[in-house]
Amino acid sequence: MYVEHLLLNIDESWTTLLAQEFKQSYFQKLNTFISDEKKNYSIFPPEHKIFEAFKRLPFHQVKVVILGQDPYHGEGQAHGLSFSVPLETKIPPSLKNIYKELSSDVNTPIPTHGNLEKWADQGVFLLNATLTVRANEAGTHQKKGWENFTDSIIQNLSEKRANLVFILWGNYAHKKETLINASKHCILKSAHPSPLSAYNGFWQSKPFSKANTYLTQHNIAPIDWKL
């Protein structure tokens, strides 16, 4: 399988957990779809970065989940972590707003780059609901099976872990709340940081300090959000 061979590089804690997903009919169809897309179009992120979030962070080390929707669809932007871009890439508008809220919330300088790998390496699982996209065409890989896969990820984290923080920005992410057991996890919801919606409740929502307060209360080391 095309997609499954990419999973050979992710942490074993994930492959063991998701072995049954790979056998599902939806995953077989997803695999065929991605294989066909790759023959005819450029796909982002690059093949070796599709499962970057899983490579960087073992299942048992996740502390915070920040859920995005689609990978960036511009050249050189997507690298497998939600909202993040490589060091040399221009910071996208939503991430600029995330940084403004970060600076206001935890009193850190606004970062000069868009790379969130430091967060991932500390336990922040930067998961997009859809893990691939056709170049320059937003949303082209939605409803092809990725959402089934990432919903399963969220459910597994909810069921098999405790005291995680789920940060859900925007209406799309809010719908994932039904997958999370609120009695054993912290769910932080607000508007999406996009310039089109940040005014509607993203500003002053303080997700970063609230996440750290919750982690500390449960004897879990907080995240150093400074980049």
DSSP state of 45: S
SS3 of residue 165 by DSSP:
strand
Residues 6+ apart with CB under 8 A from 160: 17, 59
70 catalytic? Reply is: yes
Catalytic annotation, pick one of 36, 70, 151, 224:
70
Per the CB < 8 A criterion, the answer to whether 168 and 217 are in contact is no
Residues 6+ apart with CB under 8 A from 139: 70, 130, 133
Distance CA 205, CA 199 (A): 11
Distance CA 220, CA 31 (A): 37
DSSP state of 221: P
Active-site amino acid positions: 70
